[in-house]
Structure 1
Amino acid sequence: MLTKNVADGIHCVEDASVNWFLVEEDERLTVVDAGLPTSWRSLLSALDELGRRPEDIEALVLTHGHFDHLGFAERLRFEVGVPVYVHENDVPLTRHPRQYGRDRPLWWYLLTQIKALPIAVGFLARRAWWPQPIKKVHRMPEGVLDVPGRPRVLFTPGHTLGQCALHFPERDAVIAGDAVVTLNPYRGTRGPQLVSGAATVDPERALRSLDAIADTKATTVLVGHGEAWTGGAGRLVELARRRGPS
């Protein structure tokens, strides 16, 4: 489940088609997104494999507040004392994870998108829809965030109203969250694209927000669902726009 150095000092953990990341800086760590509730076990396993401890984690940064990115966030905050950062627009989602906006009804995808059924089953088996609400968060400003790795926060709304990407210029990488993905959990389709309207509140705004990712000119883009993209941010955005909303 752990893939080391998907970019320099950034490690990916994949649980049931959901990616989250560990960013190393010296002896310190930042966790980006928190997977599913059962990802707590994956976190402990990944830390052990990296020779780290939970106490080495100094921050948890959420790219957005959807249920499949909140997984172990409250447990890490409560048990280890790790501060949780999220854009202010998504603070309500961290308290009510299943009450999110969408452009199209979920039932249509569940009834018609057969390729996505294994992903839905994996979500169900890992209690994806039932993360603990986060009782306290820190509102994340744009600009450089003073956490290990010192990412530059890029506001990329559309998937959610507070979706953000994180740019690591010295590592030539962006963690995009769900601003763009290479696996669409609601269709089971692969390749650069937006997440379907079942979980995207404003597809037109999401397409416009891709400019911020393209402008980084990063070689590697790490996404919330699907394989890492190493063909350049500009090409990724071009292909996602060509595909359009779904």
Structure 2
Amino acid sequence: MDTRATGWTEVAPGVNRLDVAHVNCYLVEAEGGLTLVDAGLPGTGPLLDSLLARLGARRSDIDALLLTHGHFDHVGMARGLSRDGVGMLVHPGDAALVRHPYRYAHERPRWAYPLRYPSAIPGLISMARHGALGVKGAVAAPRLADGAILDVPGRPRVVWTPGHTEGHCAFVFEHVGVTMCGDAIVTLDPYTGRRGPQIVAGAATADSVRALQSVEALRDVETGTLLPGHGEPWSRGVDEAIAAARRTGRH
């Protein structure tokens, strides 16, 4: 599918990636239903509506919204989707953050990153243009638990990967061979502009040491592709992604 024409990409059978300002969310078609993983930025809304129309659906047809975590750039459409009757699930560790998506712990000052990494500035400006500074909180059911198989279309398995946030989770969709790893491992860091598998910079990560430890939880995932919260899909193996993230380390 031509992303220049549509703005979305089918990255696996029935798995559609929506990328706005280098922030990803994923709509999964499975078992006659729809599951959305993460809610992107507010500016992702028109793109989601366009994709749903292409599928002959609308927002109220989404069976579940699964949140990898509660940062503002992953809950941008959440309040609106809730008004449309879409139920949201999150790990208990991030339930408060979903309600207040700017009140997050970060181990390093945010203001310093544009000075140190000026190549990241255009991406940060793009995020702001797509609503990153005006996200409203939402209420999500705190029901995600490590190892649980969720009774939603695609029946993903939950993998708890704390560090970026306390309640960060990945979702393993074994039927199509993909793991949506959120910000546990990204292939583009919006705060530095660096590409390749890595954890997110300390400007937005609560505990980088713990985050690097948590990526080990993905090592036993038996899927061929990682779908990150930022950056391109990674299909060169989980072990290589983890090794690359460890080499990059904290930043």
Report the TM-score, using the length of structure 1 for normalisation. 0.96
Q: State the Cα distance separating 1:7 from its structure 2 match.
A: 2.0
Where do 1:76-225 residues align within 5 Å? 76-78=81-83, 80-142=84-146, 143-225=148-230
**8 Å CA contact 1:21, 1:33 repeated in 2:** yes
Secondary structure of the equivalent of 1:139?
coil
Q: Which residue of 2 aligns with 1:245?
A: 250
Matched, 1:3 2:9: yes
46-55 or 156-165, larger mean C-alpha shift: 46-55
- State the distance in 1 between where 2:139 and 2:248 align: 38
Matches within 5 A, 1:25-44: 25-44=30-49
- Cα distance in 1 for residues equivalent to 2:175 and 2:217: 17
Q: 5+ unaligned residues in a row in structure 2: which ranges?
A: 1-6
Amino acid at match of 2:88: V
Instruction: Tell me what 1:52 maps to.
Output: 57
Q: Conserved in 1, the CA contact under 8 Å of 2:95 and 2:139?
A: no
- SS at 1:141 equivalent: coil
How far apart are the structure 1 equivalents of 2:203 and 2:127?
15
CA distance in 2, matches of 1:136, 1:88: 9
Distance 1:233 1:90 in 2: 25
- Offset of residue 139 of structure 1: 2.6
Aligned identity (percent) is 46
SS of residue paired to 2:111:
helix
Tell me the distance in 1 between the aligned counterparts of 2:113 and 2:244. Answer: 22
User: Does residue 1:235 correspond to 2:240, yes or no?
Assistant: yes
User: What whole-Å deviation, never above 9, does each CA across 1:80-122 have from its counterpart, x for those lacking one?
Assistant: 2111100000011111111100011001102221110011101
Q: Which amino acid letter does the alignment assign opposite residue 129 of structure 2?
A: A
What 5-or-longer segments of structure 1 have no aligned partner?
A: none
Alpha-carbon RMSD across the aligned residues, in angstroms, is 1.2
Q: 1:66 corresponds to which residue?
A: 71
CA deviation digits over 1:144-193, x for unaligned, max 9? Answer: 01111110000000011110000112221100000000000000010111
TM-score, normalised on structure 2? 0.94
Equivalences, count: 244
Moved over 4 A (4+): none
